Amino acid sequence: GLREASLETVVPRGSSDRVMVVLGEHAGKVGRILQREPERGRALVQLGRDAAPPVLPLPYDSICHYLGGGDDD
């Protein structure tokens, strides 16, 4: 019964913490933050573990701290 406007995503502070994309075409994918751009409210996020994983600039509102299991769990 919560409205979306009442929710806030949490962007991790640690450099090795993982994030999940929660909005947009990459929603549900997990990655890690390579660089933060607080003045723009976004981060460069590397998705997946492929040989050449994509790196995307994503707004903070599109990502959240991911505490789920890893690929090898």
pLDDT 10s digits, 42-70? 999 999 877 788 999 999 989 999 988 76
What pairs with residue 44 in β-bridges?
A: 35, 57
* pLDDT surpasses 60 at 72: no
Per DSSP, 48 falls in state S
Q: 3-class SS at 10?
A: coil
* pLDDT surpasses 80 at 26: yes
Mean pLDDT of 1-8: 70
Q: How far apart are CA 2 and CA 38, in angstroms?
A: 27
Give percent above pLDDT 90 in the chain: 45
Tell the CATH topology of 18-65. SH3 type barrels. (2.30.30)
Q: What is the pLDDT of residue 67?
A: 87
* pLDDT surpasses 90 at 9: no
